[in-house]
Chains A and B, each alone.
Chain A
């Protein structure tokens, strides 16, 4: 179909009285299905895929070696040292959990807002959520020192007759992140059932038939089944929406519930959630811009999709900038000398370099998206989004490390330095993330075909008019 090469069709123009098409090119249900199934069904895998997978696997192996080294030698292999007892592991955890939230927002919250453009990206975004939560869950799992006692985190009956302490946000985290991982997985899997059925019906080899047949649970596309499915989808979306807000709120409570200056502020829950959506969307853009090119999906993940995501990045980035300003304002207005010091120290103390990296990457770089060209040029977008992710990592770094390194008592102050294991584990977690994502691209449906088809003009049961587009 000629539509594959029409990737440069610009549906970002706003024409009054018309809605822009969300699937561009001369596409029908058949061609959409063919395009989405392309990478999964190709007998020969493109070399670019192997190169990317190879690099990711190398970093995954390095991560595994670092973890084994950590388990055999203890937490001392990291840079965590008095007074900074929470170092890179917690920063990485919050970073990855935040990234995961964008996927659920796209799936759930944009569904409730009836934003049809989400259908092109929600499958990949949900997959990104699952993999980001896996990377996030890794760090609390291995940072507890005696990892073989990880089951202490859960309220399981034990010989010491001890239970966990339910006042602690660290325990709320256990429940929140576990629930989030589980619900995201259920939502993602449920969304994939009709698309796995598509894979099953198109499968040429027996192995593929059996595997996808089992995974799709015998889906027939029956309208009665669809109606219950739609209801379940709506309910899961409604459940996942408060989950996005609550899970990162609970993660922010790890800090906000403490007494440290710079941590103990009520702005943390909304600030963290906005930051999570901000970094998550940036990661989605970073992933999808190359993916749409390599998988030939430019007609489904169109420039309008990318532009909408950039607008959300701009909005949430501005909220994050507002939160930074508010922290300073409240520190001044509240008159607490420790809090005032904490913020001045962030900007002008020994970690000033981290702070200004954070501000320039988080506040200044997304402002480029006010300019139309910036938010419709895929390569420029990816560059800005990489800066955003760097900035968001530094934000968690600044919050965690500066407040710990200089708190109430000057005699306790100390400067934190990461060890090579810290750095290798961070990069290795990206290896894990990209490995999983590349495997997902190859073996599972990358786009929610059923949902995309349902928003194409033919899907509305009125005469299809080429001028009017989807609701």
Chain B
């Protein structure tokens, strides 16, 4: 038709190549006439033909002789894939890779997995239905020569068309046109296939390349950032929980004058449970003379005003245990000694505890370095002669390099340890006559 040729000449001012006949399109008024026409076309043996309607017409598949579609099978396969994916996902994540222990429920449980499985089955099937339908229909297909047929614009409003394509083996330029006219259509129009399609815009290729290159830049930057170490921290846009204005130990506090978060004990106050009426019990000092004792001199390495080391033996210590020395107390003292003291002082008080031995070993390997002093033997003269109060003070505040254990050992337990140390001292300095008879005989036998 001349209108098609006009479309050609408007785009291509050069001598236009001849468009070829692609088929004939017949327009019909209503559904019944289209259906009859389709049946006749089918019976005439045409295969490459199609009907075009604004809505699906029931029964036209039979009128045209088309086979039912494979789409349901495709959707079934997608559904199966969805189910398997969901079950595999839940098995892998919660029952294999990182088993979630929740109230001892089974790691893999199909009833609990059903909701997600069901949803993924439906999701995959839906994709299968839509994409399968589009693929089977060869859509999207933006160019179709049938759009060039003028009256075809009505197909989506109220037009009914039947088109026979020239690829059909029974197609013949004149006979097919006559055949179509015999079906009583409103009109029959040839559909021409133009030989040249409109040229793509010239800028398309360079612009596409440019956009591709631009698009690669972020990827390159990301790859670079992942490969090179950085000495600045990451940029965090919302840092709200990283920097919290709460009071942490060792942190400066804007609230107090001395800026300390950890507050010292207020002068003149006592913690609950910290008051003892009996100074002999709580400090190991003789009650009558305790007032005159300068407590700061009881701390390790206390110095006199003239710089000499303070002599602890001048302090009025108690010489009798202020608690009742019972077997239970002795057992308690042994247990507590073994926990707190034996690590350095050894099980016998010899100063050969594991920590001490290890420290001596390390020190031997690095001469000139190291400040470890072997703990003094508890059953030797100097310590044996110390009153129990002084022993108690040593445990409480420490001495020389030993730290004080006041925060770790309650007062009662410290006296138990003092009692046990006395027992160690007796054992460590015993002569053979002080042993029971059986032990003497045994040792004599071993010596021989």
Ordered by A's residue number, 24 sampled pairs between the chains whose C-beta atoms are within 8 Å are A71-B238, A72-B238, A146-B238, A155-B89, A163-B93, A163-B97, A164-B93, A167-B105, A172-B116, A183-B126, A217-B142, A221-B54, A222-B52, A223-B64, A224-B50, A226-B56, A228-B136, A231-B133, A235-B125, A246-B119, A449-B54, A459-B55, A460-B58, A461-B59
Interface string of A228-253 (1 = CB under 8 A from B): 11111001100110110011001001
Q: How far is the CA of A171 from the CA of B69 in the complex (A)?
A: 37
Q: Report, nearest first, the 4 A-B pairs whose CB atoms are least far apart.
A: A29-B158, A163-B93, A232-B133, A217-B140
Does A453 reach chain B (CB closer than 8 Å)? yes
Within 225-272 of B, Cβ neighbours of A (below 8 Å) are at: 237-238, 240-241
Contact status B57-A220, CB under 8 Å: no
**B91-133 to A contact mask, C-beta < 8 Å, 1/0:** 0011001101010010000001101101110110111011011
- A229 near B137 with CB under 8 A, answer yes
A435 contacts chain B at the CB level, 8 A cutoff: no
Could you say which of B31, B97, B139, B240 contacts A461, with CB atoms under 8 Å apart?
B31
Q: CB-CB < 8 A to A169: which residues of B?
A: 115
User: Are A165 and B123 in contact, CB atoms less than 8 angstroms apart?
Assistant: no
Chain A's interface: helix, strand, loop or mixed, by majority? helix
Verify B56–A236 contact, CB threshold 8 A: no
* A202 CB–B CB distance under 8 Å: yes
Q: Which of B14-66 contact A (CB under 8 A)?
A: 30-32, 35, 38, 50-61, 64, 66
Residue B444 interfacial (CB < 8 Å): no
Are B55 and A166 interface neighbours, CB within 8 A?
no
Interface of B, secondary structure class, is helix
- Output the least CB separation between A62 and chain B (Å): 22
Q: Is B75 an interface residue (CB 8 A)?
A: yes
B161 partner residues in chain A, CB cutoff 8 A: 221
Interface readout for B213-233 with A: 1 if CB under 8 Å, 0 if not? 000000000000000000000
Within the complex, the shortest CB–CB distance from B215 to chain A, in Å, comes to: 21
Contacts of A172 in B (CB 8 A): 115-116, 119
Residues in A whose Cβ lies below 8 Å from that of B69: 227-228, 231
A171 to B134, CA, bound (A): 32
* A451 interface residue (CB < 8 Å to B): yes
- Name the one of A229, A250, A458 contacting B133, with C-beta atoms under 8 angstroms: A229
In the complex, what's the smallest C-beta–C-beta distance from A70 to chain B, in angstroms?
A: 12
From B149-157, B285-293, B353-361, the one touching the partner chain is B149-157
Q: Are A179 and B61 closer than 8 Å at their CB atoms?
A: no
Mark contacts of A246-268 with chain B using CB atoms, 8 A cut-off: 1 yes-contact digit, 0 otherwise. 11001001000000000000000
Residue of A nearest to B157 (CB): A33
Task: Look across to chain B and name the residue whose beta carbon is closest to the beta carbon of A451.
Answer: B55
> Of all chain B residues, which has the CB nearest A190?
B130
Interface residues of B in 392-447 (CB under 8 A from A): none
Bound together, the chains give a CA A148 to CA B242 distance in angstroms of 14
For A186, give its contact among B53, B100, B127 (CB under 8 Å): B127
Decide if B31 touches A459 in the complex (CB within 8 Å).
yes
Beta-carbon contact of A176 and B115 below 8 Å: yes
Distance of A160 from chain B, by nearest CB (Å): 10
Contact assessment for B66 and A201 in the assembled complex, using a CB-CB cutoff below 8 Å: no
Instruction: Please measure, in the bound complex, the distance between the C-alpha atom of A186 and the C-alpha atom of B78, giving whole angstroms.
Output: 15
**Nearest chain-B residue to A448 (Cβ)?**
B55
Point out the residues of chain B lying under 8 angstroms from A235, CB to CB. Answer: 71-72, 75, 125, 129
Residues of chain B having any CB pair with chain A under 8 Å = 30-32, 35, 38, 50-61, 64, 66, 68-69, 71-72, 75, 89-90, 93-94, 97-98, 100, 102, 105, 112-113, 115-116, 118-120, 122-123, 125-127, 129-130, 132-134, 136-137, 139-144, 146-147, 153-158, 161, 237-238, 240-241
Interchain CA distance A221-B50 in the complex, whole Å: 10
List 19 additional A-B contacts (Cβ < 8 Å) besides A219-B139, A228-B137.
Answer: A30-B157, A74-B240, A155-B89, A163-B97, A175-B115, A178-B123, A183-B126, A220-B52, A221-B52, A223-B38, A223-B50, A227-B60, A229-B56, A235-B71, A235-B72, A235-B125, A242-B118, A246-B118, A458-B30
Q: Confirm or deny: A89 has a beta carbon within 8 angstroms of a beta carbon on chain B.
A: no
Contact A148–B237 (Cβ < 8 Å): yes
How many Å from the CB of A76 to the closest CB on chain B?
A: 11
Residues of chain A lying within 8 A (CB to CB) of residue B97: 161, 163
For A167, give its contact among B102, B143, B153, B238 (CB under 8 Å).
B102
Contact check, B157 vs A462: say whether CB atoms are below 8 A apart.
no
A168 → chain B closest CB, angstroms: 9
Are the C-beta atoms of A236 and B126 separated by less than 8 Å? Answer: yes
A444 within 8 A of B: no
A222 touches B51 (CB 8 A): yes
Contact pick for B140, options A30, A218, A224, A460, CB 8 Å = A218
Contact B119 A450 (CB under 8 A): no
- The verdict on A214 contacting B56 (CB below 8 Å), with A28-B158, A33-B157 known, is no
Given A166-B93, A183-B126, A236-B129: A198 and B54 interface contact (C-beta under 8 Å): yes
A461-B122 in contact (CB<8A): no
* Cβ of A225 under 8 Å from chain B: yes
In the complex, A178→B125 CA distance in Å? 14
Residue A78 is within 8 A (CB to CB) of chain B in the complex: no
Chain A positions near chain B (C-beta within 8 angstroms): 28-30, 33, 71-72, 74, 146, 148, 155, 161-167, 169, 171-172, 175-176, 178-179, 182-183, 186-187, 189-190, 194, 197-198, 200-202, 213-214, 217-232, 235-236, 239-240, 242-243, 246-247, 250, 253, 449-451, 453-454, 458-463
The answer to whether A163 touches B122, judged by C-beta atoms less than 8 angstroms apart, is: no
Q: Is the CB of B112 within 8 A of A201?
A: no
A186 touches B119 (CB 8 A): no
- List, in ascending order, chain A residues with CB within 8 A of B153's CB: 201-202
Contact of B98 among A162, A194, A197 (CB under 8 A): A162
Q: Please measure, in the bound complex, the distance between the C-alpha atom of A321 and the C-alpha atom of B402, giving whole angstroms.
A: 79
Closest to B127 in A: A186
**What residue in chain A is nearest B82 (Cβ atoms)?**
A179
Question: Given the complex of chains A and B, what is the CA–CA distance between A54 and B298 in angstroms?
Answer: 84
Q: Which of A30, A200, A239 contacts B129 (CB 8 A)?
A: A239
A202 to B98, CA, bound (A): 58
Give the residue name and chain of the A residue nearest to B36 (CB): A461
Least Cβ–Cβ distance between B167 and chain A, in angstroms: 15
Q: Could you tell me the distance between the alpha carbons of A162 and B98 in the complex, rounded to whole angstroms? A: 7
A217 near B139 with CB under 8 A, answer yes
CB atoms of B119 and A176 under 8 A apart: yes
| Contact in complex: A201, B157 (CB < 8 Å) | yes
The 8 Å CB contact of B115, one of A71, A183, A227, A250, is A250
Residue of A nearest to B141 (CB): A218
Q: Contact at B57–A461, with CB atoms within 8 Å?
A: yes
Q: Which of A30, A182, A221, A458 contacts B155 (CB 8 A)?
A: A221
Residue ID in chain B nearest A235 by CB atoms: B129
Q: Which residues of B contact A162 (CB under 8 A)?
A: 98
Among A28, A175, A214, A221, the residue within 8 A (CB) of B120 is A175
Which residues of A have CB within 8 Å of B105?
A: 167
Question: Are B54 and A29 closer than 8 Å at their CB atoms?
Answer: yes
Q: Judging by beta carbons under 8 Å apart, are B130 and A232 in contact?
A: yes
CA A391 – CA B136 in complex, angstroms?
47
Name which residue of chain A comes closest to B64, CB basis: A223
Our pick among A163, A171, A179 for the contact of B123 (Cβ within 8 Å) is A179
List the B side residues contacting A231 at CB < 8 Å. Answer: 68-69, 71-72, 133
Contact at A161–B98, with CB atoms within 8 Å? Answer: yes
Q: B154: which A residues are within 8 A, CB to CB?
A: 201
B448 to chain A, nearest CB (A): 70
Query: Nearest-CB distance from A212 to chain B (Å)?
Result: 11
**Nearest Cβ distance between residue B280 and chain A, in whole angstroms?**
48
Nearest neighbor of A33 in chain B, beta-carbon distance:
B157
With CB as the reference atom, state the residue of chain B lying closest to A450: B55
CB distance from B42 to the nearest CB of A (A): 12
Picked from B35, B133, B241, the residue with its CB within 8 Å of the CB of A228 is B133
